[in-house]
Amino acid sequence: MAGATTIVQLRVSDVRFPTSLEQHGSDAMHTEPDYSVAYVVIETDGGHEGYGLTFTLGKGTEVVVCAVEALSAFVVGRTLQEIVGDFRAFYRLLTSDGQMRWIGPEKGVIQLATAAVLNAVWDLWARVEGKEPRKLVSCIDFRYITDALTEEEALGGCFSSHEEMLRDGYPAYTTSCAWIGYSDQQLKELCTKALSHDWTRFKVKVGADLQDDVRRCRLVRQMIGPDNTLMIDANQRWDVQEAITWVSHLAEFKPLWIEEPTSPDDILGHAVISKALAPLGIGVATGEQCHNRVMFKQLLQASALQFVQIDSCRLGSVNENLAVILMACKFHVPVCPHAGGVGLCELVRHLILFDYISVSASLQNRMCEYVDHLHEHFKSPVVIRNACYVPPKDPGYSTEMREESVRRYQYPQGEVWQTLQATRGHRT
């Protein structure tokens, strides 16, 4: 890294996309999401920029923006070298400040803000280096997880060649066919289209009404046939026993997993559900709202999940995702990241490639989520080939958005929102 690079400015914007107008992204708990981001740009005195974001559903993004602003004092004025020279210490500074940690610690809005800020730092670092950063294990804060994974253990990973990834890509599944607000007709059309594009793994939203779920799962299973893979996602809708009963009714459709059956905080509840559903051949997947490595540690220790769904913008950036990927490997539980939203696919492909190339070296029971929306707003959008993620080639964390998109969708002053408000009375 040439010379010192001082971060002189941090800017953050509230950028929202009106996806609720067409029910994209809808599930049993989030019926009208407007996919949004708190979008961060950090700038150095040498003219370099790093871009970061965290994903939100519309309302409340302004609160995350406020939290990012509160964290900016830790970043502005520091050199990139200072930060990445001891990234573990910097991570701890951000997450464990003696006053600020009271509004977390390492959870909720402040954790989302930490992810947005640190995602920008990782992007900047990778751009300045012009390649993927090294010394990854030294970026992890092992505090609270040494009973599950030590630094020494983390250093002894498996390694696999990246040639295979460059050739074939990383296997993906699609959630785009079966959002809960889509009609049966839409479901059919989207499944037909996805099948014609070689998709073999499909996720269906469930949990609002059992009869609807039975009908929709039957329809999708009929469309995709017995050999393709089906997953179901309840987005935290049920109590523990209710989850077991409800999913048992859907067992005939042979789902590989039930995702987020109950509260994301209920580790023992997930363990009970996992145990009850194991004889039916249905695993439990969770993680998109699991806010830190300690929660994942307990889920793993309690055998409460069979698929680890890391999230690039919920955990504290790459640093904390690495910790979870390494723990999952030690516990022999596959990582199948949560993606979709705005930018999650762009970011998460870096993490899952790292998992394959440097940690798990396996594709057994592994796949990465894909959702077909909003990629056009990114400078390095995801590329899918034969239902697989193609490895990104541009330096950085693929977090940079197109300037025009940020301007037009900025909330509430961007022209898209101004027009919606004027013409349709859409709530702003």
Ligand X SMILES: C[C@H](O)[C@@H](O)[C@@H](O)[C@H](O)C(=O)O
- The binding site for ligand X (CB under 6 A) comprises 25, 27, 30, 33, 57, 175, 233, 235, 288, 338, 340-341, 369
Report the residue number whose CB is nearest to ligand X: 25
Q: Between 235 and 319, whose beta carbon lies closer to ligand X? A: 235
- CA separation for the pair 69, 63 (Å, rounded): 10
Please, what is the minimum distance in Å from the beta carbon of residue 309 to Mg ion?
A: 7
DSSP letters spanning 323-342: HHHHHHHHTT--B-----TT
> Using CB under 5 A as the criterion, what x/- string covers residues 36-75 for binding Mg ion?
----------------------------------------
Residue 341 contacts residue 35 (beta carbons within 8 Å): yes
DSSP 46: T
Place of tokens 């809708």: 237
372-to-230, 233, 355 alpha-carbon distances in Å: 18, 17, 23
254: left (phi over 0), alpha (psi -120 to 50) or beta: left
Give 3-state DSSP helix, strand, coil % of the chain, rounded to 5. Answer: 45, 15, 40
Site for Mg ion in 224-243 (CB under 5 A): 233
Closest C-alpha among 282, 242, 227, 229 to residue 259? 282
Please, what is the minimum distance in Å from the beta carbon of residue 341 to Mg ion?
A: 10
Longest dimension (CA), the chain: 63
Q: How far is CA 286 from the centre of its chain?
A: 11
33 binds, among Mg ion, ligand X, none (CB under 5 to 8 A by kind): ligand X
List the structure tokens of 15. Answer: 């950028």
Q: Would residue 135 show up in a list of annotated catalytic residues for this protein? A: no
> Using CB under 5 A as the criterion, what x/- string covers residues 240-269 for binding Mg ion?
-------------------x----------
Strands (E), 79-190: 170-178
Question: Which of 24, 203, 205, 291 is the catalytic position?
Answer: 205
Q: Between 294 and 374, whose beta carbon lies closer to ligand X? A: 374
Q: Between 87 and 253, whose beta carbon lies closer to ligand X? A: 253
Please, what is the minimum distance in Å from the beta carbon of residue 417 to ligand X?
A: 20
Please, what is the minimum distance in Å from the beta carbon of residue 369 to Mg ion?
A: 8
Q: Would residue 205 show up in a list of annotated catalytic residues for this protein? A: yes
Please, what is the minimum distance in Å from the beta carbon of residue 27 to ligand X?
A: 4
Enzyme catalytic residues: 205, 338
Per CB under 5 A, residues contacting Mg ion are: 233, 259
